Amino acid sequence: MNFSSAMDAKKTKIICSVADNRCDVEFIRSMYESGMNVVRVNSAHASIEGAQKIVDNVRKVSDRIAILIDTKGPEVRLTNVENPFLVTEGATVEIFDDPSGICRQGSLYTSYPNFSRDVPVGARVLIDDGSIELKVVSKGEGRLVCEVMNEGLIGSHKSVNVPNVHIDLPALTEKDKKFILWAIKADIDFIAHSFVRNARDLQEIQDILDAEGSHLKIISKIENQQGVDNLDDILSHCYGVMVARGDLGVEIPPESLPLVQKAIVSACRERKKPVIVATQMLQSMIENPRPTRAEITDVANAIFQGADAIMLSGESAYGKYPVEAVKTMQKIAEENEKALDVCLTLNLRKVVKPVAAVIARSLIASTLELPVKCLVFDTYTGRIGRYLSSFRPKVPMYAMCYRESTMRELAMVRGIETYPFQQVKDKNEFAEKAIGILAAEGKVQKGDLIGYIGGLFGSEQGATYMEFRYVD
């Protein structure tokens, strides 16, 4: 499958986690040509030097690949363990408030110095993504006394979750702040902030971006019940959302996860915000060249729900079959997108530019009645592209972008292919130049009917017109 057909064949975007020990240019190119749209860098497992290496190599491949970096966010982890050890069901374990302590049999320490203060008696403490459960039976000065509910292996720096308990952690760590400042200088595209609990968790990041005059966009990772409960407010302060199902599936009852995922995706579509579904989508392909049937269904279900993007984590970062995993996602998307219907619902109370939203819906509706080959629009901010995409049209959409950063931001938005574009004086010149670009790549040909949507050229006022014309 060549690059052009891979990118044209699907509408759902693919995000791939990439590690600095496997990020050479040929590897990035092979992933891109197989269908990857966005590269993810996990700051929890990378140095700034390693992250810069990934960015440099991605930029050598294409200026259309977006780059997303995760922050660690307000998380709690165990401290170091000299030798991993087993805890047995019914045993007693104490958790002490000393981030410098070393975990050993019977005594655990976490990265948060006020853990015992915030966690009440009766709470469930889940370790290593929930593989070990402890129940808090009593509290002492600077410590919790817990009963082990199931056997498991304790290792260094494993995750610690306390469902339905507010842990009073700062939104950003010092490492997060260093990575954000680096990301601004490196001109990457997205910051995915972990464990977003409310809009206040985003404000410190936005303040840094504003102070530096940065265009970087914030993706809110929803990983706990607070994030779910405050989703509407969170959506008002970020570019998009990631359904981060690893910690989310620990923080809420696992049987509720499919319904929560569906609700988050639906809310994002209503607000015209990109939404990513992530975690263990093709987990078995870390070790195997083919996915399980359940994994194929999981990916397809995210597509049916209307996710803008689906994500690979360990499958692409350190798995044995990274390119095959991307190709698998590509094929699943291509096949199952055929079953999706255009959605024309619109809540005008949820959009910033209601005129543009109504015009966008009208243009999408026209594709159900007219033989429209594709939709074309010009954009500074990418907003009209997000509006068009939210209605999930079946026809291709091509964005003529006045900014390189906008091209990469739209790499996160379902169904949009981007092109660099220079400012023009009127809509006739825009149509002629856009047709020329698309015709040169074989996207359109003589006799094709094209739908346009646009606004006042050279401004950021949003779309104000739509029209149709045949390619002559």
User: Which of 73, 110, 80 lies closest to 95 in space, CA to CA?
Assistant: 110
Q: How confident is the model at residue 185 (pLDDT cuts 50, 70, 90)?
A: very high
pLDDT confidence of 455, banded at 50, 70, 90? Answer: confident
- For 10, 299, 301, the CA distances from 337, given in Å and listed in that order, are 8, 11, 10
Q: For residues 227 and 264, what is the distance between their CA atoms, to the nearest angstrom?
A: 10
- Residue 325 confidence (pLDDT) above 90: yes
Q: Compare 345 and 212 and report the one with higher pLDDT.
A: 212
Give the CB-side neighbour count of residue 391, counting CA atoms within 13 A: 26
Which domains are present in the chain?
Answer: 3-74+171-336 (3.20.20.60), 76-161 (2.40.33.10), 348-470 (3.40.1380.20)
Active-site annotation holds for 77: yes
Q: Round to whole Å and give the CA distance between 314 and 19.
A: 9
Rounded to 5°, angle at Cα 433 from 430 and 439: 130
Token pair 């095959």 in the structure block, residue: 324
State residue 14's pLDDT score: 98
Q: List strand residue ranges (DSSP E) for 83-142, in order.
A: 85-87, 92-96, 107-109, 124-127, 132-140
Residue 460's pLDDT is what? 57
pLDDT digits (tens, 9 = 90+) for 328-361: 999 999 999 999 999 998 888 778 888 889 999 9
Tell me the C-alpha distance between 11 and 340, whole Å.
11
Please tell me the predicted confidence (pLDDT) of residue 456: 63
Catalytic residue among 10, 11, 29, 40: 40
Task: Give the count of beta carbons closer than 10 Å to the beta carbon of residue 202.
Answer: 21
Q: Which two tokens stand for residue 112?
A: 């948060």
> What's the pLDDT score for residue 461?
64
pTM score, two decimals?
Answer: 0.91
Please compute the mean of the pLDDT values over residues 14-37 and round it to a whole number: 97
Band (pLDDT 50/70/90 cuts) for residue 129 is: confident
Residues 11, 124, 221, 271: which is the catalytic one? Answer: 221
Look-up: residue for tokens 């739209």?
Answer: 410
Q: Provide the mean pLDDT of the chain.
A: 93
Q: DSSP assignment, residue 163?
A: T
pLDDT greater than 60 at residue 458: no
Using 50, 70 and 90 to split pLDDT, how confident is the model at 6?
very low
Q: Provide the token pair at 292.
A: 């399980």
Give the pLDDT confidence score for residue 338 in this predicted structure: 92
Say whether 40 is catalytic: yes
CA 124 to chain centre: 29
CA–CA distance, 432 with 427 (Å, rounded to integer): 9
pLDDT reported for residue 394:
94
12, 71, 173, 279: the catalytic one is 279
